[in-house]
Chains A and B, each alone.
Chain A
Amino acid sequence: MIAEAGHYALVLALALALIQSFVPVIGARLRDPALMNVARSTALAQLLFVGASFVALVTLHVNSDFSVANVYENSHSMKPLIYKITGVWGNHEGSMLLWVSILALFGGLVAAFGNNLPLSLRAHVLAVQAWIASAFYLFILITSNPFLRIANPPIEGRDLNPVLQDIGLAVHPPMLYLGYVGFSISFSFAIAALLEGRIDAAWARWVRPWTLVAWIFLTLGIAMGSYWAYYELGWGGWWFWDPVENASLMPWLAGTALLHSALVMEKRNALKVWTILLSILTFSLSLLGTFLVRSGVITSVHAFANDPTRGVFILLILCLFIGGSLSLFAGRATSLKQGGLFAPISREGALVLNNLLLTVACAVVLFGTLYPLAMEVLADFKMSVGAPFYNLTFAPLFALLLLAVPFGPMLAWKRGDLLGVTQRLLAAGVAGLVVVAIVWGWTRGGSALAPLAIGLGVFVIAGAVTDIAERTGLFRLPFATTFHRARGLPRSAWGTAFAHAGLGVALIGIVCETTWNSEYIATMKPNDVAQVAGYELKLDGLLERQGPNYREMIAQFNVSHGGEALSVMTPSKRSFTTRGSSTTEAALLTRGASQLYISLGDVTADGAIAVRIYHKPFVLMIWWGPVLMAFGGMLSLSDRRLRVGAPKPARAKQRLQPAE
């Protein structure tokens, strides 16, 4: 019953989406407010029905109803409740349902909070949202129905892929999808603007918060996924330049560029056409990511779901939306009025440079992701493009970008004074150089690249601090004035500083981890001691334990540093009986920003166990960086000038209040 109800709700959502696709557009043509307002109701009803459909699938998984194929293939009655729920999106059908649910959620949010939008703009935006939604509802209903029944229900399910039975999976895909799919809003706004042939600074003010929300989630989603790979796959690697990871990185790069270009458009009414194009490209890259992950064209850990018709179907959606939107752009972009002028050395100029470097870096990643596929199709030979390629291409471009980052926020709009900014950044530059010298002297003889990169990271962080210090008059004015100014500073200025500093933090973490990572691989017997980076790790013994749906072998290590006992670490190896496969659960010991990492290999015939121990210096900074960036994004989002539905300054509101 629940499966049929869920299926039916999904069909109804499709019907609503089809209505929402056409009626509001007709309404906008006829200037009929009633028809245009249909979009609002259908968007909310659609959200309700997709939500119901999603809840139905979750219920089926929680109840372990193995008469439903999707539950049978991905669940097990002994699986812990949390993984029964997260298992819903740990497979192809369920994750697509999550995808459309989030799409409907964003559509519903625009419908609910878009009251200050011009009526026709809202109608167009929601109609475009419905076009996307209809395509994906059809995709799910035709090729990937999660509610299919099995004629002879089995008693027990096949269990979820053990690698996915982890809390990381609970968080990573929904976050990532909130990011991916969130960019559909800026896409819809861009298409709506093209359809209406009208675009102004207010448009950018509406688009920016939505882009920012999507960007925050995508940032956290990518960081979460990277941390999950780090502790779950047992290799201690956190980024593999895997096509699936690139698929999420590309929208992030384009989305970051979009955030910055929308800023220029909002403040200076310039870069209009470019911002529209970026909105289209960002969501196109999200669609491309969905295609790469969901069609199984690429070998990867993530490509656990495959089916013949699916790839072609998503490819069609991809061509339709990217081709359609770019043709519309080509036809209508010239009708949009060009915006304001600015000198190359100015805040706008810096943001153009930012956009240029980000999009080119994004293009490089796109090339590296698609080139092997293209060569396989055209020339019939296989190859892989991995870290060495990106180190030679992506890294230099990003280094250039980071070098420019501190200058951007300090340049004035319209016409900047590069010399003055350089003088004010002198302290930050000196701090960076001092760090280069210290690190280089300390590591002596090592590669010069690592100290330079760390210096660059310090420069970016110090630059962000300098910006705030300059704005608040820190050290120049009395402390009370500074404090007062700091409180009065717009939140978006703080947001910029945090987000930019986050880049520097992440860079330092990446460089430290890759350069000074120490590794120890050997077979150990009980009471053996391993020495890694000044730590002594003594293997106490091995013990077996029964988990809910697995057996696990735990190795117990006593960790000490310079004779002082620190902690006990218990890496384990789990074997899942249902799938006959095993996972390695690494043990982590955090010391400041650094971590000790132990993962287990096989037990040899004589009772020794293979272990892999890493010391990862400053590894946590890799993820603190994105968290800082997301925090900066949230600060900006809470800036009252950006708050959805409150474009007026707050002072007017305060004056009104006593009258009530």
Chain B
Amino acid sequence: MTRKQRRMTIIGGSLAVLALAAALVLNALRDSIVFFSTPTMVAEKHVQPGRRFRLGGLVQPGSLQRGDNLAVTFEVADGGAKLPVAYKGILPDLFREGQGVVAEGALDANGVFKADTVLAKHDETYMPKDVADALKKQGHWKDDYAGKPAATTAQGNSQGAVR
């Protein structure tokens, strides 16, 4: 085999692997990504029941109800709209009324968001970024949403700057 042929073998092999990877990625992008919505966006866009998405917002104070066998319901609000959420399981340590939350799941036929995962990846000084951005965009951001206003505002700015 000449040098040229060997080089072509390697280039050909590389292209084959790259094409395979591209095909895999495009295939995966069709149905394995999950979009983020707030209750307002859900109301505006008429999200289809059964379509998985991430719902973010604040847990409406006074809406948390515990049923039998770890079933819980609560409402997620973003100032503009509210959406009832049903979940079965243990809520994360940092889940609290009035605080930010991100849940993953889908709407059922009655318009209730059936969550299979509830994330509260934050402590009292940290609001989930998706939630903070969405609230800010709608003008519902208040400094007292976070325990430590300075830190939270700084964080918001940082995201603005990076973008």
* A binding-site residues for B, Cβ under 8 Å: 161, 234, 295-301, 303-304, 306-312, 315, 341-344, 352-353, 356-357, 360-361, 363-364, 367, 372, 376-377, 381-386, 388-389, 391-393, 396-397, 521-523, 573, 579-584, 601-602, 604, 610, 612
Distance between Cα atoms of A219 and B96 in the complex (Å): 37
Contacts of A384 in B (CB 8 A): 33-34, 36, 54
| B43 contacts A by Cβ under 8 Å | no
A–B Cβ pairs within 8 angstroms, 9 of them: A306-B158, A308-B160, A311-B162, A356-B14, A363-B21, A383-B36, A521-B70, A579-B123, A610-B70
- The smallest C-beta distance from B133 to any residue of chain A, in angstroms, reads 8
Q: Is the CB of B24 within 8 A of A385?
A: no
Q: Is the CB of A381 within 8 A of B32?
A: no
B interface bracket (residues with beta carbon within 8 Å of A): 35 or more
| Given A306-B158, A383-B34: A360 in contact with B28 (beta carbons within 8 A) | no
Distance between Cα atoms of A382 and B157 in the complex (Å): 18
Q: Is the CB of A393 within 8 A of B161?
A: no
| Cross-chain contact of A299 among B9, B25, B130, B158 (Cβ < 8 A) | B130
- The smallest C-beta distance from B19 to any residue of chain A, in angstroms, reads 10
| B46 contacts A by Cβ under 8 Å | no
Residue on A with the closest CB to B35? A383
- The smallest C-beta distance from A75 to any residue of chain B, in angstroms, reads 15
Contacts of B66 in A (CB 8 A): 604
| B1 contacts A by Cβ under 8 Å | yes
Q: Is the CB of B94 within 8 A of A357?
A: no
Q: Is the CB of A343 within 8 A of B6?
A: yes
| Cross-chain contact of B128 among A299, A344, A360 (Cβ < 8 A) | A299
Interface centre among B1, B32, B124 (most CB of A within 10 A): B32
Q: Is the CB of A312 within 8 A of B161?
A: yes
| Given A297-B162, A308-B158, A383-B33: A364 in contact with B25 (beta carbons within 8 A) | yes
Contacts of B9 in A (CB 8 A): 344
Distance between Cα atoms of A459 and B36 in the complex (Å): 41
Question: 6 other contacts beyond A306-B151, A341-B6, with CB at 8 A cut-off?
Answer: A306-B158, A311-B161, A342-B6, A361-B21, A392-B28, A393-B24
Contacts of B126 in A (CB 8 A): 304
8 A Cβ contacts from B1-25 to A: 1, 3, 6, 9-10, 13-14, 17-18, 20-21, 24-25
Contacts of A389 in B (CB 8 A): 28-29, 32-33
Contacts of A343 in B (CB 8 A): 1, 6
Distance between Cα atoms of A522 and B124 in the complex (Å): 28
The SS class assigned to the A binding surface is: mixed
Q: Is the CB of A161 within 8 A of B17?
A: no
- The smallest C-beta distance from A548 to any residue of chain B, in angstroms, reads 19
Q: Is the CB of A522 within 8 A of B28?
A: no
- The smallest C-beta distance from B32 to any residue of chain A, in angstroms, reads 4
- The smallest C-beta distance from B108 to any residue of chain A, in angstroms, reads 21
Q: Is the CB of B10 within 8 A of A397?
A: no
Q: Is the CB of A315 within 8 A of B70?
A: no
Distance between Cα atoms of A469 and B99 in the complex (Å): 60
Contacts of B90 in A (CB 8 A): 521, 601-602, 610, 612
- The smallest C-beta distance from B87 to any residue of chain A, in angstroms, reads 12
Q: Is the CB of B162 within 8 A of A582?
A: no
| Cross-chain contact of A306 among B28, B124, B155 (Cβ < 8 A) | B155
Distance between Cα atoms of A299 and B128 in the complex (Å): 7
| Given A389-B32, A393-B25: A356 in contact with B13 (beta carbons within 8 A) | yes
Contacts of B54 in A (CB 8 A): 382, 384
Q: Is the CB of A234 within 8 A of B93?
A: yes
| Cross-chain contact of A295 among B18, B121, B162 (Cβ < 8 A) | B162
- The smallest C-beta distance from B29 to any residue of chain A, in angstroms, reads 7
Q: Is the CB of A386 within 8 A of B93?
A: no
Q: Is the CB of B10 within 8 A of A344?
A: yes
Which 10 residue pairs are nearest across A and B when measured between Cβ atoms?
Answer: A601-B90, A382-B36, A388-B32, A392-B28, A306-B155, A308-B157, A299-B129, A311-B162, A308-B158, A393-B24
Contacts of B35 in A (CB 8 A): 381-383
Residues 99-136 of B, flagged 1 when their CB comes within 8 A of A and 0 if not, give 00000000000000000000001011010111001000
| Given A296-B158, A344-B6: A388 in contact with B130 (beta carbons within 8 A) | no
| Given A353-B13, A521-B70: A396 in contact with B24 (beta carbons within 8 A) | yes
| B69 contacts A by Cβ under 8 Å | yes
Interface centre among B54, B93, B123, B158 (most CB of A within 10 A): B93
Distance between Cα atoms of A602 and B159 in the complex (Å): 34
Q: Is the CB of A301 within 8 A of B163?
A: no
Q: Is the CB of B3 within 8 A of A397?
A: no
Q: Is the CB of A382 within 8 A of B24?
A: no
Distance between Cα atoms of A386 and B25 in the complex (Å): 13
Residue on B with the closest CB to A396? B24
- The smallest C-beta distance from B65 to any residue of chain A, in angstroms, reads 12
- The smallest C-beta distance from A596 to any residue of chain B, in angstroms, reads 17
Contacts of B159 in A (CB 8 A): 296-297, 311
Distance between Cα atoms of A396 and B20 in the complex (Å): 10
Residue on A with the closest CB to B14? A356
Contacts of B1 in A (CB 8 A): 343-344
Contacts of B128 in A (CB 8 A): 299
Contacts of B158 in A (CB 8 A): 295-296, 306-311
Q: Is the CB of A393 within 8 A of B21?
A: yes
- The smallest C-beta distance from A61 to any residue of chain B, in angstroms, reads 19
Residue on A with the closest CB to B158? A308
| Given A367-B25, A383-B36, A392-B32: A360 in contact with B18 (beta carbons within 8 A) | yes
Contacts of A580 in B (CB 8 A): 124
- The smallest C-beta distance from B91 to any residue of chain A, in angstroms, reads 7
Distance between Cα atoms of A222 and B122 in the complex (Å): 22
Distance between Cα atoms of A584 and B123 in the complex (Å): 14
Q: Is the CB of B93 within 8 A of A583?
A: yes
Residue on B with the closest CB to A393? B24
